[in-house]
Structure 1
């Protein structure tokens, strides 16, 4: 097939960044069959998000491996955050090398660069080529807004410091749509002088460069935060919410024969009676919190399905597995999360509050109990509890037995829990309308197609 345009896509290969970007690219590729998309990502991440079925369905997406920064003479064995540092240190040279390789192989110069928003240097690469730069923000609009207002936040903290500001429980009353957010909810990367990590430096560089973008794209929908949406629309050339992608492109059914999660859920006899627990792929709660959560579940006698790796299962209370497994609950090392949340018998989601998990929860009308860990998760949990009112955060963001019991009682059986369920149903309806035929996300996606199709 002869292609008339070549789009370069730069992925950030950590956490759940690359997969949503691939979902965006697959939808663009399906809508623009005359375009060739080159997807630049680390070999490890590519191996995770691409499988035979995905590769066969994307004839106009070509995959390239980018060096992840690990020295060739060693196998990386450090932490997630060390891996991020190595990767960012290798950039942008690692990307420039494969971009040139892709242009030679395909015989077309890249006419547009789409990147994870963290990869701010894509702005410079696009400027050198005289082509549009379209960053993709993989989190919520509320966290993007917090980063955009970094200077104002630092001025508000001033000489008092974050500790005194936190003591006074001050909120971000000066940021549209974030009036209920506390300073202590903010991502630590905003306070660069206290947290000069490679990721914090990268995000601050991103904030400086985003105004140069042609359009900013989010896997979200305008109606979840209309005040934030309108404010950010006033700051950028195009601010395009095009999701939730899970409602447009549901996860293909995955075999459940190894874990039996769905068959176990089928055997539960009451709708909305099961608590699903998962904290993503990066972080596991400390042992004392795992114990507190387990004891709370057993005390409340609430049916549960818990995705917990085998190593962490060793921290559970003595005899807990024998007393509960396949009776009161089921513990598995991995669960097909989107299918689990969509099951009629799941009534609450105990989550780290990553953005993808929140979208999956909203898309399945499931309320949340939040235990945030890092990054934007504290801010997300504040929005879940105080702005969207579709869940609660465990007190002080830490599992204790008594506080976890209180959270379970509130979400599962109280009048307040009924209100949360009604709120999440309403938000779900807004999300479905957004991706509908005349919805805001549908129109924004059409605008994105225009932008990447425009002559340079």
Structure 2
């Protein structure tokens, strides 16, 4: 009892020391970015910080889901056509240009409000690289959150070298060429995005990398045992504090989710009726799009595998279709209940379900990390950007999944599912991902690497000079 009282007194003293420590967080308004930022907000709030979220009108979170945070909305200036543009690079450039003044105005207002607690620092999504100039002009410390993996960021940082040595821009004739400086990558694995203006993509990457390097620190939703070599490389090249405190969603018992689509909870009751580790869960994220031929190859590959499957078909996933129109007449009936198709899933709950035996994924970083944390092997189908690097690491470095190599052909899909679910190769993969899952659990326990990193982050923020507003 005495030990407990001492501990409670220590916690109370630490909370008192941080009283008046307010953090302003600014998430990028895309599904794969806003969730990690809000999860980080939960983690820091649990450490005694007050949380203020500045967010755009575009893809804004629902404040009612986060009663402990204060929310401030800013206009983003996006027209309807710009907000729905299919070119993600254009969207990122527009957000960095159009949010600058509204963001600065909002931040100045927050900083000048003497009735509120002082602000310790700004934590911005690293892709909002314009925030460096704003924070510097206001003498406000700026820490960035990079929501992707460390391994892919190291490759983004190498883009000037890759361009100099002729790997970029990518030429079709060089797709299978090894990138000797970055094994085991081939040219086709480099994290590029097809953009209407390729130079604009390099500009966004340069902004991401250079303004991260100029920050007061960078936070990662990753953990040391998963990306140790990339963290070592990053530490040599980036002379700033580095905080791998992930996996974020495992820090809190009830993790945040700001889903832009309604999650179908009926998928859980369907999973309840399936045998352990028998179900293929297929979901390709919130942005990826397929043509009708690719969609049909996936449908028949799943059906022909004879395994039960839970398939997320997001409205708009198939170009030119609303939802399931391209499926042949009677397709669902032929499955005899073996397939369940929904519009969006409560993914963390699905991956944690004992019936799920594999995850067919686009390898966005959040999905990849969630799959590792639940010990679910992956079938990798990356679409663009860092997904390609994540996929390569899953299949060739960590060896906890299989990559679809030759495009979307139903025969290869069926064969890959069998390799993972039925054959000896799948058993070995399950053993390896179980080890990574265990390491993810250990890193969050007392004395674990992510727990230590989080303590270092809290200490780092607490030592930053409190902002005192002076009229500009």
TM-score normalized by structure 2? 0.85
In 2, Cα distance between the equivalents of 1:192 and 1:401? 29
8 A Cα contact 2:43 2:251, kept in partner: no
Instruction: Note the residue ranges of structure 1 that are not aligned, 5 or more in a row.
Output: none
The Cα shift of 1:192 comes to 9.7
- Aligned residue number for residue 219 of structure 1: 221
Alignment of 1:134-145 (within 5 A): 134-145=143-154
8 A Cα contact 2:263 2:346, kept in partner: no
Tell me the C-alpha RMSD between the 2 structures: 2.7
8 A Cα contact 1:132 1:452, kept in partner: no
Alpha-carbon displacement from aligned partner over 1:209-247 (angstroms, at most 9, x marks no partner): 222222111000011121111111222321110011122
The Cα shift of 1:86 comes to 3.2
- Aligned residue number for residue 198 of structure 2: 195
- Secondary structure at the counterpart of residue 408 of structure 2: coil
Q: 2:299 aligns with which of 288, 294, 308?
A: 294
- Measured at CA, do residues 203 and 91 of structure 1 come closer, stay the same or move farther in structure 2, by a change above 3 Å? farther
The Cα shift of 1:14 comes to 1.5
Q: 2:325 aligns with which of 297, 314, 318?
A: 314
Q: 2:404 aligns with which of 381, 391, 394?
A: 394
8 A Cα contact 1:40 1:64, kept in partner: yes
- Secondary structure at the counterpart of residue 225 of structure 1: helix
- Measured at CA, do residues 141 and 433 of structure 1 come closer, stay the same or move farther in structure 2, by a change above 3 Å? same
8 A Cα contact 2:249 2:255, kept in partner: no
In 1, Cα distance between the equivalents of 2:196 and 2:293? 32
Spell out structure 1 runs of 4+ moving beyond 3 A.
73-80, 82-86, 104-111, 191-194, 250-254, 256-259
The structure with higher relative contact order (CA 8 Å, sep 6+) is 2
8 A Cα contact 1:157 1:165, kept in partner: no
The Cα shift of 1:265 comes to 1.0
Are 1:243 and 2:246 matched, yes or no?
A: yes
8 A Cα contact 1:275 1:349, kept in partner: yes
- Secondary structure at the counterpart of residue 431 of structure 1: helix
Are 1:69 and 2:83 matched, yes or no?
A: no
- Aligned residue number for residue 452 of structure 2: 443
8 A Cα contact 1:119 1:202, kept in partner: no
In 2, Cα distance between the equivalents of 1:232 and 1:79? 32
The count of aligned residue pairs is 436
8 A Cα contact 1:113 1:134, kept in partner: yes
The Cα shift of 1:27 comes to 1.1
- Aligned residue number for residue 324 of structure 1: 335
Are 1:11 and 2:27 matched, yes or no?
A: yes
Are 1:264 and 2:266 matched, yes or no?
A: no
In 2, Cα distance between the equivalents of 1:137 and 1:252? 18
- Measured at CA, do residues 125 and 3 of structure 1 come closer, stay the same or move farther in structure 2, by a change above 3 Å? farther
- Measured at CA, do residues 250 and 181 of structure 1 come closer, stay the same or move farther in structure 2, by a change above 3 Å? farther
Alpha-carbon displacement from aligned partner over 1:343-366 (angstroms, at most 9, x marks no partner): 111000111110000111011110
8 A Cα contact 2:96 2:130, kept in partner: no
8 A Cα contact 1:10 1:115, kept in partner: yes
8 A Cα contact 1:11 1:41, kept in partner: yes
8 A Cα contact 1:338 1:360, kept in partner: yes
8 A Cα contact 2:382 2:391, kept in partner: yes
Alignment of 1:177-192 (within 5 A): 179-188=183-192
8 A Cα contact 2:359 2:379, kept in partner: yes
8 A Cα contact 2:35 2:256, kept in partner: no
Alignment of 1:1-40 (within 5 A): 4-32=20-48, 35-40=49-54
In 2, Cα distance between the equivalents of 1:301 and 1:27? 42
8 A Cα contact 1:308 1:333, kept in partner: yes
- Aligned residue number for residue 380 of structure 1: 390
- Secondary structure at the counterpart of residue 402 of structure 2: strand
Instruction: Note the residue ranges of structure 2 that are not aligned, 5 or more in a row.
Output: 1-15, 316-321, 466-472
In 2, Cα distance between the equivalents of 1:163 and 1:253? 41
8 A Cα contact 2:263 2:344, kept in partner: no
8 A Cα contact 1:435 1:441, kept in partner: yes
8 A Cα contact 1:287 1:316, kept in partner: no
- Measured at CA, do residues 168 and 258 of structure 1 come closer, stay the same or move farther in structure 2, by a change above 3 Å? closer
- Aligned residue number for residue 127 of structure 1: 136
